[in-house]
Amino acid sequence: MKQLHPAILTLIGINALLFAPGLLNPQLENAIIDLGALYYFQNEAFQIWQLVSHMFLHGGVAHIFFNMFALASFGLPLTMIWGWRRFLIFYFVTGIGAGLVQTAVHYYQFSAAYESLTQAGFSGEAITFLLQEFKADPAMLSKVPEKTIEQLISIYHGRSVGASGAIYGVLVAFGILFPNAKLSLIFLPIPVAAKYFIPALVLLDLFSGVTGFSIFGGGIAHFAHVGGALIGFLMMLYWKAKPIQPHPGVG
């Protein structure tokens, strides 16, 4: 691999600096995530800066390793073509866009679950009590599926971390600029052209988000992945309509 551009090294460095304290002190890790993770916007813990800060926090060694490995691998050729300014614009727009797409999906799911409770005759006060106390009274469970109640609580109190949304945007840009580059999964080392591999990966995330079935395990923000890919694709279409001059060197 060629030498990484300082912009990519800086992104990796910030992620590492925010991750390292948690390895030494779990309480400090919780404090950092409590402050910077992306909460559902109706939760009182939500702050607007979390749309950016959540991109620099991760939930485990494997999470940060694979995200930073992908950033280094696929970000390098993009900085060589675009320069660091355009790359950073792309990275942050896709990352923030991923958070907004996920929030929009959560709003739709939350509203549907909330409406199920109100149609069953429960007041806003009763639902607020449920969200604050994590406890449903027997009457609720007798009239509304437990899964609906769990979804309402999960969305309201859930928090998202990780650069994956921006990484998916970077992947899409790489696939458009280098469609015939061969890629493969670590546990399935079969080289596949990027123009097939990346759309298949996004479709797999979409399938997992819609069905709830994930081959990669639980706790994954599939709609954030899809959102980052979508925003990245739209940005590439926009930039294609307004061509840029190739950037000399790495920018």
Q: Quote the pLDDT of residue 166.
A: 97
Q: Quote the pLDDT of residue 250.
A: 39
Under the banding of pLDDT at 50, 70 and 90, the label for residue 26 is confident
> Which among 94, 97, 17, 29 is positioned nearest to 60, based on CA atoms?
29
More confident residue, 189 or 18: 18
**What gap in Å lies between CA 8 and CA 84, rounded to an integer?**
8
**What gap in Å lies between CA 175 and CA 179, rounded to an integer?**
5
Domains of the chain by range and CATH? 6-117+158-241 (1.20.1540.10)
pLDDT of 52-86, one tens digit each? Answer: 999 999 989 999 999 999 999 999 999 999 999 99
**What gap in Å lies between CA 188 and CA 98, rounded to an integer?**
27
**What gap in Å lies between CA 73 and CA 79, rounded to an integer?**
11
Q: Quote the pLDDT of residue 140.
A: 83
Q: Is the pLDDT of residue 12 over 80?
A: yes
Q: Quote the pLDDT of residue 188.
A: 65
Strand (E) or helix (H) holding 164:
helix 164-177
pLDDT of 109-165, one tens digit each? Answer: 999 999 999 998 898 888 998 898 877 777 788 888 888 989 999 999 999 999 999
First to last CA, the chain: 17
pLDDT of 33-48, one tens digit each? Answer: 999 999 999 999 999 9
Strand (E) or helix (H) holding 160:
strand 159-160
